[in-house]
Chains A and B, each alone.
Chain A
Amino acid sequence: MKSLEELQAIRDRKKAEINNRTTGENNIRIIVGMATCGIAAGARPVLQAFGEEIESRKLENVTLGQTGCIGLCKYEPIVEVFVPGQDKVTYVHMDAKKAREVITSHILNGKPIAEYTYKE
Chain B
Amino acid sequence: MIELSLNILDITYNSIRAGAKNIDITVRADFCTDEMEISISDDGCGMSEEMVKTVSDPFTTTRTTRKVGMGIPLFKMYAEMCGGALRINSEPGVGTTIAATMKISHIDRPPMGDLGQTMTTLIGASPATEFKLNFVSDGKEYIFDTKEIKETLDGVEIENVEILSFLREMINENIENLIGGKIL
Task: Tell yes or no: B61 within 8 A of A by CB.
Answer: no
Set A3, A11, A39, A66: member contacting B153, Cβ < 8 A: A11
A44 and B9 contact, CB distance less than 8 A:
yes
- A48 at interface (Cβ–Cβ under 8 A)? yes
The closest CB in chain A to the CB of B157 belongs to A14
Q: Is the CB of A36 within 8 A of B166?
A: no
Q: Are A11 and B152 in contact (CB under 8 A)?
A: yes
- Complex Cα spacing A3 to B152, Å: 11
The residue from A6, A11, A36, A52 contacting B70, defined by CB atoms under 8 A apart: A36
A10 located at the interface, meaning its Cβ lies under 8 Å from any Cβ of chain B in the complex: yes
Contacts of A8 in B (CB 8 A): 152
Secondary structure class of chain A's binding surface, majority of residues: helix
* Chain B residue, CB-CB nearest to A3: B170
A34 interface residue per 8 A CB criterion: yes
Answer whether residue B165 sits at the interface, using C-beta atoms and an 8 A cutoff.
yes
Q: Assign chain B's interface to a size class.
A: 35 or more
Does A2 make an interface contact (CB < 8 A)? yes
Give complex CA distance A7, B69 in Å.
38
Residue in A4, A15, A55 whose CB lies within 8 Å of B152: A4
Q: Name B103-122 residues within 8 Å CB distance of A.
A: 114, 117-118, 121
Contact A36 B69, CB 8 Å, known A1-B174, A7-B170, A14-B160: yes
For residue B13, which residues in chain A have a CB less than 8 angstroms away from its CB? 34-35, 68
A42 and chain B: residue at smallest CB distance: B2
B116-151 CB mask vs A (1 if < 8 Å, else 0) is 011001001100000000000000000000001100
Q: Which residues of A does B touch, CB under 8 Å?
A: 1-4, 6-8, 10-11, 14-15, 34-37, 39-40, 44-45, 47-48, 51-52, 54-55, 66, 68-69
Identify the B interface with A (CB < 8 A): 1, 6, 9-10, 13, 69-71, 74, 114, 117-118, 121, 124-125, 148-149, 152-156, 160-167, 169-170, 173-174, 177
